[in-house]
Amino acid sequence: MVDEAEAAIVRRIYREYLEGKSLIQIARGLEADGILTGTGKTKWRTKTIKKMLSNEKYIGDALLQKTYTVDFLTKKRVKNEGLVPQYYVENSHEGIIPKDLYMQVQEEMVRRANLKAGKKKRVYSSKYALSSLVFCSKCGDIYRRIAWNNRGKHSAVWRCYTRVEHGPSACDAETIPEEDLQMVTVKAFNQLYEGKESMLEVLAQNIHQVLDTSGESLEAIESSLEDLQHQLLKKANSKQSYDKLANEIFELREKKQNIMVESAEKNGYKKRISELEEFLHGFDLEITEYDEQLICSYIQKITVYDDKFNVEFKAGFDLNFEK
Ligand SMILES: [Zn+2]
């Protein structure tokens, strides 16, 4: 069981993660506020936080039987040997994290996990809005910010990470002055402003498309699950074997999990479209300066080509800008 104090910490961690904080930033924040871990330690490990972010017990129903866990990243089902099978009835305890918040976090974890190029992992950094958003078209790697301090004169450029690490023979992607990159985002927003009316039409169409794709019914699965769980409890109570039933329940649980992820993705997309719509409605003056907050809210990815930048918006469309 989770008590109210722990619940508050869990909610804080979920909220901060969705606000774009990295695991290490969340950990440092908790330590700075003198919050102790579940085992009474002052030091928070990122591993602990990651575990909490994917602990389904917080949404009020644990996966049936801890002998199987579903890994959201690989969608693989892992059998955990050596544990005594235990059955579990859904919604038997109250959740402290709403399901859609939980699903948003799982989606964000997948997004951050995808921020790796080739076999190398890149650490997610949220210090600059453009970190983890800018990619090299040539090798697929991420662009990294490099700050210069030339006799007290500060400047910054962005460079392909492969090139930084292995030199121009590995990737000959160009170095981009930070102002150029920032200017592209300003142009992108101003282009939205100019094409506001037609953009709003496109967004409305995109929303319709999302709504049109109907998936399998969650209610149907839930009601068969409930039924099977009752049967299982009866069998267990009368000491009959329930392996076959348990297996059926696993399969249904997995199906349900997949549908939930799918619908979280759909809802996430829908939400991003309506956010941009709302923003566009109130967007009545061109912007003149680089705005970190706008980037975080609406831009998904910027790809650097030899001759152009491609700016991809979270609402599901992209714009090109010549260099
Ligand atoms: Zn590159």
| 86 within 8 A of 65, measured Cβ to Cβ | yes
Distance 182 CA to ligand 1 centre (A): 19
130 vs 209, higher pLDDT: 130
Distance 196 CA to ligand 1 centre (A): 34
Ligand 1 center to 130 CA (angstroms): 16
Q: Using a cut of 0.75, tell me whether the model's pTM lies above it.
A: no
Give CA–CA dist 165/120, Å, rounded.
12
The whole-angstrom distance between residue 1's C-alpha and the CA centroid of its chain comes to 27
Q: How far is the CA of 173 from the centre of ligand 1 (A)?
A: 5
Say how many Å lie between the CA of residue 174 and the centre of ligand 1: 8
Which of 2-6, 74-78, 112-116, 125-129 shows the lowest mean pLDDT across its residues?
74-78
Q: Would you say 280 and 196 are in contact if contact means Cβ atoms under 8 Å apart?
A: yes
- Mean pLDDT (the chain) is 79
CA of 137 to the centre of ligand 1 (A): 7
pLDDT above 90 (res 2): no
Question: Are the C-beta atoms of 62 and 164 separated by less than 8 Å?
Answer: no
Residue 174 DSSP one-character state: P
> What's residue 228's pLDDT?
83
Question: How far, in Å, from the CA of 157 to the mean position of ligand 1?
Answer: 15
How close is the Cα of 309 to the center of ligand 1, in Å?
14
In degrees and rounded to multiples of 5, residue 177 shows phi and psi of -65, 145
Question: Ligand 1: distance of its center to the CA of 320 in Å?
Answer: 19
Which 3 state secondary structure label does DSSP give 76?
Answer: coil
Residue 264 CA to residue 114 CA, distance in Å, equals 17
- If you measure from the C-alpha of residue 19 to the centroid of ligand 1, how many angstroms do you get, rounded to a whole number? 29
DSSP string, 275-314: HHHHHHHT--S---S--HHHHHHHEEEEEE-SSEEEEEET
The span from the CA of 91 to the CA of 62, in Å, is: 8
* C-alpha 68 to ligand 1 mean position (Å): 40
pLDDT tens-digit profile of 72-116?
444 444 444 433 334 444 444 557 787 777 878 887 787 777 665
Cα(313) to ligand 1 centroid in Å equals 22
